[in-house]
Amino acid sequence: MWPLVRQARYLGRYREIAQVLVGHGFGALVNQLGLVSLLSLPRRMVMRVPPPEPLGTAARLREALVALGPTFVKLGQALSTRPDLLPADFVHELGKLQDTVPPFAAELAVATIEEALGRSVGELFAEFSCEPLAAASLGQVHAAKLYSGEQVVVKVQRPDIAGRINTDLAILADLAALAQERLPFGRQYNLVELVWEFAATLRAELDYHREGRNADRFRHLFADNPTVHIPQIYWEYSDARVLTSERLYGPKVNDLAALASVGIDAPTLARNCLQLILSEIFSYGFFHSDPHPGNFFAMSGNVLGVVDFGQVGSLDRETTRALLLLLAAVVDHDTPAALRALEHLGLISRRDVSPQLRRDLERFTDGFVDRPLRDISARETVNDLLTLLSRHQIRIPGPLAMLLKALVMMEGVGQQLDPQLDVFGIARPYVQRAIAEGLAPAELGGQALRGARALGEVAVELPHQASDLLQRLNDGELRIQTEERELRRLTGAVISAANRMAVALVLGALILAIGMVAIAVGVGGWTGPLPALLLSLGVIAVLLTSLVLLVALLRGRE
């Protein structure tokens, strides 16, 4: 269970994590996870009452994550997008986590660049500023100028950050397995899978090659869109730990005073922000999943400059179609359609549709009756839906959570610029176009072809699967699970069948006996009252038994 804790190189970090948790008032959690005995921690340390502070549990958790470093800050940020997992106060508090830390020494940044690119900074750049423009938990950004004259920014990864993050991710995987085994919350949710998703996302963010490819893809997708500018990547000056890209100039989109000073029209910029995320979702199925204001610049002509493509998400065609169905169902107050959309999104299955879920979903859709679309907030809609899903212990997939987070964040950016922003009004053309494209003959033909192909694959596999099922049944490997209600029904059916079989056997025996008596009378030539009496009694017994059997059969059909 704890293979990593026995390795000396991780033991110190385990102790540090446990001590930070205890110091912030989570000693009971450390004890429940069994870390006290596993790490040989002094019990007096675990049971120590934290100093009185005017902080709630959620705020203490946020401070503990900050104290634990970049991996745990990133974890808190990820959890802040999951109201289906955490109470609202935790989501709100973790949403305050900022991915900003003090910069590291410029000498280390220069050493990383030269090691990664194999040349000195003086050979690579005509100018290089040792003072970073910005610093974050994974790296920092320096301004530079190429010998060809282009102004660029150089993103440099923190030294040894990958090793520290990999250690923390290994420990988080162990803690998730322990929590899943020992805590009610852990048993309710698949914490091991959640940590696996988080680890995959964070490791991808460490690969600057991947971030550069993401930027190139966005640049290609929006090449013909005059309202969006994606910076160019200079691959000759980039590596897995160093990323050099075009420098964008302009104020951040949430700096309203600076926007006004350079003549930016805030409502137009707000509309461009929202159109960006809608295009990503409904046109391309590829979206920027970390659209906080720091990643957006207001450039001349109300053009939106977008940077930092370390966190992105993808949507397949079926998910996009299901989102459209859900949006249409909410607007039309159609609860059955909303249930089907949630099923297509993979959030529920048919057996999950309880009367309580149906009733809550009806209340959710009724909340939009007689409300103008311009008065409906995406944040409000998403939060209400996630609260509903959380109440029924329905966990949403990671990519969908990223999408909802991105949509809400982009709406927030837009409404900072224009409080009267009509989100659904701007979204309507995108939705209508996506629906029209989904109903186009070519698309319908493609869906039919994919369905036929899937049906053919099922037909080919069915005999093999049936054979495998029968073999497993024959070998005793197949286990059948059923609910108590179904078990009672099954038990009653078996008992009823057994009773009817017993009656049938008795009836068969009586008929056989009558037949034998009749044969004996005919063959042996019996005479007198005895044979007639035996035959009469036999016929009466058969009639009575038949009546009992008939009553049993009629009861069995009820």
158-202 pLDDT tens trace: 998 999 999 999 999 888 888 888 887 766 677 888 888 889 889
C-beta separation of 227 from 303 below 8 A:
yes
Q: Which two tokens stand for residue 538?
A: 């036999």
Would strands 151-157 and 139-145 be described as parallel, antiparallel, or unpaired? antiparallel
Q: What pLDDT score does 52 carry? A: 46
Cα(478)–Cα(476) distance, integer angstroms: 6
Q: Which residue has the higher pLDDT, 93 or 368?
A: 93
Give catalytic residue positions: 290
Residue 342, class by beta-carbon neighbours within 10 Å (0-12 exposed, 13-18 middle, 19+ buried)?
Answer: buried
Q: Which residue has the higher pLDDT, 363 or 117?
A: 117
Residue 558 has pLDDT above 60, yes or no: no
* CA 194 from centre of chain: 8
Residue 44 has pLDDT above 60, yes or no: no
The pLDDT > 70 percentage for the chain reads 71
Residue 413 has pLDDT above 70, yes or no: yes
247-284 pLDDT tens trace: 999 999 888 889 988 889 999 998 998 899 889 988 88
97-116 pLDDT tens trace: 876 678 999 999 999 999 99
Q: What pLDDT score does 118 carry? A: 95
- Quote the DSSP letter at residue 147: T
> With bands split at pLDDT 50, 70 and 90, how would you rate the model's confidence at 4?
very low
Q: Which residue has the higher pLDDT, 183 or 476?
A: 183
Q: What pLDDT score does 119 carry? A: 95
Q: What pLDDT score does 233 carry? A: 97
C-beta separation of 346 from 321 below 8 A:
no
Q: What pLDDT score does 6 carry? A: 44
Q: In the predicted model, what is the mean pLDDT of the chain?
A: 79
- Quote the DSSP letter at residue 83: T
Give the torsion through C-alpha atoms of 14, 16, 17, 22, to 10 deg.
120
